[in-house]
Amino acid sequence: MAVSSHLIIKVDQHDIKITNPNKLLWQEMGITKSMYLEKLTVLFPYLLARCNNRLLTTIRYPHGVHSKFFYQKNAPEPLPSFVTTAWEESIHYVVLDQLATLLWLGNLACIEFHPSLHFVGEHLPCEWIIDLDPSLPEEPRIMEAAWNVGQVLNSLGIQSIPKTSGATGVQIIVPIQYGITFDELRSLGHFIAQYTVQKYPQLFTIERLKKHRGDLIYFDYLQHYKGKTLASAYTPRANEAACVSTPLTWEEVAQNPRPSDYHLLNIEERLQQKGDLIATVAPQDLKSIIAQLGKIKG
């Protein structure tokens, strides 16, 4: 008797066909597609808070994280009737607004979730993210770098939350009050990046070309711009450790954890203990700082 290679799950009255549920997606961690979908169910409320009402780009690994992958901007076909979409610049994006959509994407082996930095139909940023990108394959100073950037922001009266990228870097999230432009944030980011490089010249650089950075950590203030994306907080990542991009407390950063400490097999326990750390920081009013910066430049 033939064994079925798929199953049907019902989510909020929607039937979702799950193909090859026993396929290994993360071989080293022993995580199958069915296990992955279970973890996505746990992650859903947190991913929703970061991706809802945004244009979603995913990275798909149909045969596991060591196989060929591709970026998916246009909504995959066939498209279930329950999936919400939005058009922008001739691209038909998925909008993640319900669990059924997330599990449908998970079945397609969408491993990484990269939302737009603005809301659907809008042109202003909905948050601010500074990306700290190591030049070395393994960078033991990355948490030190994050801590230093956090201190610089704090000295300006800006509260922030660090998160592991899920790969080798760290990103600093600043929830913002709506109304600031991408260009204003880029100008502020450039100012802070220059100051940070001057203060810690043995640690940071704003050199864009990796071959010219040596072992310095790239303070990337340019990636945060309309039309670009960054890995969402709480997204899984396609590396052998099955890392999850995880928000941290600044006290944890001071303890110098490794990004690989946070992964799909322990993320549920952490979320039960910590909740959504990003939600603990109120939207920051950056208008006065940007105005002061304008006077300095003027």
The secondary structure of the chain as a DSSP string is -PPPSEEEEEETTEEEEEE-TT-EEETTTTEEHHHHHHHHHHHHHHHHHHHTTEEEEEEE-TT-TTS--EEE-SPPSSPPTT-EEEEETTEEEEE--SHHHHHHHHHTTEEEEEEEEEETT--SBSSEEEEEE-SSSS-TTHHHHHHHHHHHHHHTT---EEEE-SSS-EEEEE-B-TT--HHHHHHHHHHHHHHHHHH-TTTEE----GGG-TTPEEEE-SSSSTT-B-PPTT-B-SSTT-BB--B--HHHHHT---GGGSBTTTHHHHHHHH--GGGGSPPB--HHHHHHHHHHH-
pLDDT for position 2: 41
pLDDT for res 79: 96
pTM of the model: 0.95
The reported pLDDT for the residue numbered 297 is 66
Q: Do residues 201 and 195 lie in contact, with contact meaning Cβ atoms separated by under 8 Å? A: no
Through-space distance between the first and last CA atoms of the chain, rounded to whole angstroms: 78
For residue 209, what pLDDT is reported?
94
Q: What integer pLDDT is reported at residue 6 of this predicted model?
A: 83
Give, in order, the Cα–Cα distances in Å from 81 to each of 42, 88, 100, 109, 113. 24, 20, 11, 20, 21
pLDDT of residue 50: 97
| pLDDT of amino acid 1 | 34
| 193 three-state secondary structure | helix
Per-residue pLDDT of the chain (298 residues; tens, 9 = 90+): 344 578 999 999 999 999 999 999 999 999 999 999 999 999 999 999 999 999 999 999 999 999 999 999 999 999 999 999 999 999 999 999 999 999 999 999 999 999 999 999 999 999 999 999 999 988 999 999 999 999 999 999 999 999 999 999 999 999 999 999 999 999 999 999 999 999 999 999 999 999 999 999 999 999 999 999 999 999 999 999 999 999 999 999 999 999 999 999 999 999 999 999 999 999 999 999 999 887 776 5
**The predicted structure's pLDDT at residue 3:** 43
